[in-house]
Structure 1
């Protein structure tokens, strides 16, 4: 059983991560290390974190669909290779040692921070979603790799998806985000299944975290604190740097 302090901590981290995911992105950069710091092995932390991601994406998909922003044909085209990649990525994560996973995660966190700081995905113009055959083929290959990464670590995958779609589709961020949550929601189901089959999910932690991220996402979308995004990003950068350093040395 979890202590009351642990439940409160996971809820608070979930709320913060959900809030950050709406305003800036990268909430898993907080939730995944925290689960590891609470004593869960890396594979168990990885699988548990996906319950919250799954819940948040289902909510977001329904919201976008109700708003009439739902590119399901392109979403399915890109989700299929992502699903295949995610299965292999999830198996790779389960087979990796805790030390190796923690060090890889610490490096990934710093790399994702660079994307968070420079935000190349912000330079987007709305031009539509018409794609030529060679562009579709390229995207299928790219999303096979993105799916592998999503199944392996997941943290920061949203930035990869946003960057890829901004290069090929030139949709605005609202439409790109709708595609992102749809694709992640589909491949998250298969990657989570791999972790569940291998008994790598702590259900109580995962459900508690999912409740927190849902609350955080709701609060962020409800209040839409545009001026707060700058401070959220600054805090996220500082915390993630500290966590990545800690992850590196906890593996020593």
Structure 2
């Protein structure tokens, strides 16, 4: 039934639960699942495609969980999510057309900068602040840029969305986290549509991981809503730093 042996599938399912839990709180779940998929012997392109399969379930679950608790209105995000879907698909289609080597060198620095911002900037909490740009400008410029990157490369997408919502939209930490999830789902889904045509994901294994993602995302979102920025901030700093270190190691 599964494309891999049962022991490998169980390992990937456990990784997906952990990734869903972490991703629902601070993003960075791909830091767990992509290396595990590669460790299972799946070729890189197929690993990325399979990661998109399972990732959409966690992001969707987290978005619904936050919405049910009143932290985000998903209907108001539909237009923005459509932009993220299209940009994510475009980014995935451009994987073989755009040289990304320079971006791979810059990305660790950006992630370390995000970690430093959330770790050191005073006053960051669950309280909203004054927005620096309008919602329309955020949708027109920030969302397609981050979503396109998600389709093109992917690591740190949640952190970039979080940074945009906090710095530019003026959202508090918990509200920013809640609003990130539907956009992350949409850009993931757009990337999946493109990758499915070329990457040939392992659908059954990906769906099994998706079920674990649902459980992990539900647990993570509930914990995040209970504790708020006191949990989200340190976990966001940790995941951004670890992802930056992993990318540096990969380059070396």
TM-score range, shorter chain: 0.7 to 0.9
Structure 2 vs 1, CA of residues 204 and 193 (structure 1 numbering), >3 Å: closer, same or farther? Answer: same
| 1:18-57 correspondence to structure 2 within 5 Å | 18-57=20-59
User: What is the TM-score when the length of structure 1 is the normalising length?
Assistant: 0.76
Give 1:36 deviation, angstroms: 2.4
Structure 2 vs 1, CA of residues 113 and 26 (structure 1 numbering), >3 Å: closer, same or farther? Answer: farther
| 1:171-250 correspondence to structure 2 within 5 Å | 171-221=171-221, 240=243, 243-244=246-247, 247-248=250-251
Give 1:203 deviation, angstroms: 1.3
Structure 2 vs 1, CA of residues 20 and 73 (structure 1 numbering), >3 Å: closer, same or farther? Answer: closer
Structure 1 distance, partners of 2:245, 2:132, is 42
Give 1:140 deviation, angstroms: 0.9
Give 1:239 deviation, angstroms: 6.0
Structure 1: which 5+ residue stretches go unaligned? none
Give 1:113 deviation, angstroms: 4.7
Indicate conservation of the 8 Å contact 1:33/1:243, yes or no: no
Give 1:206 deviation, angstroms: 1.4
Structure 2 vs 1, CA of residues 62 and 90 (structure 1 numbering), >3 Å: closer, same or farther? Answer: same
Structure 2: which 5+ residue stretches go unaligned? none
Give 1:60 deviation, angstroms: 1.8
Give 1:162 deviation, angstroms: 1.2
Cα deviation digits, residues 205-247 of structure 1 (max 9, x gap): 3123223323323343455696887986797578646743553
Structure 2 vs 1, CA of residues 110 and 5 (structure 1 numbering), >3 Å: closer, same or farther? Answer: farther
Structure 2 distance, partners of 1:211, 1:49, is 13
Structure 2 distance, partners of 1:111, 1:87, is 23
Give the length in aligned residue pairs.
244
Structure 2 distance, partners of 1:210, 1:191, is 16
Structure 1 distance, partners of 2:35, 2:107, is 12
Indicate conservation of the 8 Å contact 2:114/2:240, yes or no: no
What does residue 151 of structure 2 align with?
Answer: 151
User: What is the TM-score when the length of structure 2 is the normalising length?
Assistant: 0.76
Give 1:106 deviation, angstroms: 8.1
Structure 2 vs 1, CA of residues 128 and 231 (structure 1 numbering), >3 Å: closer, same or farther? Answer: closer
Structure 2 vs 1, CA of residues 154 and 238 (structure 1 numbering), >3 Å: closer, same or farther? Answer: closer
Indicate conservation of the 8 Å contact 2:66/2:178, yes or no: yes
